[in-house]
Amino acid sequence: MADRTPDDTPDLRSLVTDWLDEEGAAGALGISVPQLRTMVRRHELVAVPPAPGERPQIPALFIQDGLVVKGLTGLLTVLDDGGFDPVESVVWVFTDADLPGRPIDALRENRGSEVKRRAQAMAF
């Protein structure tokens, strides 16, 4: 997939309405900001600028009941292995994939198996 510069980062606010900065995401997970950054580096979570020129943030829907949404980390790994950059991964997770609905909604409703299958088929 494409590498991006800060100037060509798409405006993701049309797809993702609620965002958490590092402090907010760390607080929601009950961890420190350095631990959160480690999670992002390990692709357990993804942080992207919601709009050009903004600091990276994490979609709020990636966290549920104080934990990373079940299945999200594996999905992000599949997408990363398939060549998706973090922005492309967020776009895919928040775009209707005819599941029905968006992959993030399926993950939050514990219907992640089909999401992961589709990501694997598409990414490879």
Q: List, for residues 63-87, the tens digit of each pLDDT value.
A: 999 999 999 999 999 999 999 999 9
Residues with Cβ within 8 Å of 82's Cβ and at least 6 positions away in sequence, in order, are 119, 120, 122, 123, 124
Give me the amino acid identity at 80.
D
The CB density around residue 70, as the number of other CB atoms within 10 Å, is 13
| Lookup: tokens for 108 | 């939050």
pTM of the model: 0.88
Query: How crowded is residue 94: how many other Cβ atoms within 10 Å of its Cβ?
Result: 19
Average pLDDT, the chain: 89
